[in-house]
A and B are shown apart, each in its own frame.
Chain A
Amino acid sequence: MKQMKIVKWIALALLALLALRLSFYTENLSEKNRREAMSRYNPEELVVAMMRDSLSALEQRALPLAQWQDMLQKDPQTLASTHARRLGIGSPLFYMIRAELSEVCLVDDEYLRAFAEGVEIRIPITYIFGNTARDASGWFNIDDFRNTMDFNAVSAAMNDYIAEKMADFRLPEQASLRVLGAVAIPEDAVRLERLELIPFVLEP
């Protein structure tokens, strides 16, 4: 009889817990912010929201340059399937990578040139190719936009955002930097001596 009572109370407690769980709706905060920003559709605002909410996740997702290079040479298919993002048919592969840059210098007021893991890295200043940042971030889904013009406006906004940050950037004396950025490479590339990188974070 006592056992029956215990079972009954446990069952009631479980039911109460279930009812409590179903009465709450939980959602990832950055996903909620993303959805809200999308519903308002303001490209500049979307880019600010993306930079505010996703940098730490992008940092975690980004591969160290040495590891990325190693995988690219040894097993490009696995690298592509596990880490690349792409946009449709024939698209380049977009990756987030991080690296420690050395020998950083400014060339013709157009780009920063640096070296990391034996690769020449170029960070454009005059013109920043927005699609690489947009598509490597994985934050924007083309299906969420009314048309491709709206989708591309995000690229332009991202381009402006990064260009503005780069305009404020002053090359430090020690000329070594840490970078988190996006790259786009052709699907069949296995070895690259030079890499154009669009910076999300560039700091001493």
Chain B
Amino acid sequence: MKRLILALLIIPLLLTGCGGERAQQTKSKPKIAVVISTLNNPWFVVLGQAAVERCEALGYEATLFDSQNNPSKEADHFDNILASGYQAILMNPTDADGSAVNAKAASRAGVPVFCMDREINLPGACVTQILSDNYSGCISLGQYFVEVMGRKAKYVEILGLVGDNNTWARSRGFHSVVDCFEGLEMLAQQSADFDQNKAMEVMESMMQAHHDIDAVFCGNDAMAMGAYQAILGAGKAGKIKVFGFDGADDCVNAIREGKVEATGMQFPKTMAETAATLADRYIKGERNLPKKMPVAVELVHRKNVAQYGNFGKIQD
């Protein structure tokens, strides 16, 4: 009798428990993963955060993953994501070739991948790549560099991650203009991995090796700020002109204050929001999406800096 009473008490409890779980499952939102190369740079924080916010606004549960600029860390994230029922991945890759393997694994598992800002060298592994038009942006920057520096100057270049296509797109765009002028001489070119502290060290060593540097072109704004700190420390502020790329807030403010000459505004929010919107359309069944979607870059300099801030155009 006691057993019967106990069973009568337990069975409804079990049923309620299962039913509750099922109800919870039904109610839980579909999930999108946002995998960012590094959250150690404010520009990428904005990219990731904007993607998360847009996904949430579209009715998804979004989770942000930090790959810490490490392809194997990114691979770990992908393993977890593929085992956890995510419906799409918005990825800012760490490496054009290394990240392609992760994107391919996701694609094989039926999870669509959308690349933001950085591309992978395997277009079929992701649905769409939303990328800044770095090459054109750096052509504009190169033209402005010639305008500011004139036809005769000595400069150095600080590159980003050598495995990232953006590094070379920026460098080649810049050089496609500047190399047309024989009087503009590049004294040194070195990578600082898009990192502010590394750029400071690189700039310090470049200034020790070359005492006649007139300008530095940096592959992103974090490195431009690092280079500026080194120049300031060496008492050469104003003598060595700094050019960056990204449109990060601290760099835009530095342009306003006359510390930096120019940067290229990349619009991370536009890229993130577009990626989230395309992922939503894909999840809802749309398949006719563009493979690549460049986003135009705008030149920001002292004359037009009032129009820019908060990682975009102020009226935006």
A143 within 8 A of B: yes
B54 within 8 A of A: no
B267 CB → nearest A CB, Å: 7
From B45-53, B166-174, B213-221, the one touching the partner chain is: B166-174
A155 CB → nearest B CB, Å: 7
B107 within 8 A of A: no
A137 within 8 A of B: no
Q: Report yes or no: A155 in contact with B177, Cβ–Cβ below 8 A.
A: no
B60 within 8 A of A: no
Q: With the chains together, A131 CA to B143 CA distance in Å?
A: 14
Q: Report yes or no: B172 in contact with A87, Cβ–Cβ below 8 A.
A: no
B296 within 8 A of A: yes
* Neighbour of A146 across the interface among B123, B267, B293, CB < 8 A: B123
> Chain A residues with Cβ under 8 A from B181's Cβ?
126
Q: With the chains together, A90 CA to B295 CA distance in Å?
A: 6
Q: Report yes or no: A131 in contact with B139, Cβ–Cβ below 8 A.
A: yes
* Neighbour of A131 across the interface among B131, B136, B270, CB < 8 A: B136
For chain A, the bracket of interface size reads 20 to 34
A130 within 8 A of B: yes
Q: Report yes or no: B294 in contact with A156, Cβ–Cβ below 8 A.
A: no
For chain B, the bracket of interface size reads 20 to 34
Q: Report yes or no: B172 in contact with A91, Cβ–Cβ below 8 A.
A: no
Q: A126-B180, A131-B135 are in contact. Are A89 and B270 (CB under 8 A)?
A: yes
A127 within 8 A of B: yes
> Chain B residues with Cβ under 8 A from A143's Cβ?
123, 290-292
B33 CB → nearest A CB, Å: 23
Bitwise interface map of A from 71 to 115 toward B, beta carbon under 8 Å scored 1, else 0: 000000000000000011111100000000000000000000000
B6 CB → nearest A CB, Å: 65
> Chain B residues with Cβ under 8 A from A152's Cβ?
135, 169, 172-173
Q: Report yes or no: A87 in contact with B133, Cβ–Cβ below 8 A.
A: yes
Of residues 168 through 205 on chain B, the ones whose CB sits less than 8 Å from some CB of chain A are 168-169, 172-173, 176-177, 180-181
> Chain A residues with Cβ under 8 A from B176's Cβ?
130, 155-156, 159
A109 CB → nearest B CB, Å: 12
A23 within 8 A of B: no
Q: Report yes or no: B121 in contact with A90, Cβ–Cβ below 8 A.
A: no
Chain B positions near chain A (C-beta within 8 angstroms): 96, 119, 121, 123, 131, 133-136, 139, 143, 165, 168-169, 172-173, 176-177, 180-181, 267, 270, 274, 290-296, 298
5 A-B pairs with the lowest CB-CB distances in the bound complex, closest first:
A88-B294, A90-B296, A152-B135, A143-B291, A89-B295
Extra pairs beyond A131-B139, A143-B291, A155-B176 (17, CB < 8 Å): A87-B133, A87-B294, A88-B294, A88-B295, A89-B296, A90-B270, A90-B296, A146-B121, A147-B119, A147-B165, A148-B131, A148-B135, A148-B165, A148-B292, A155-B135, A156-B176, A159-B176
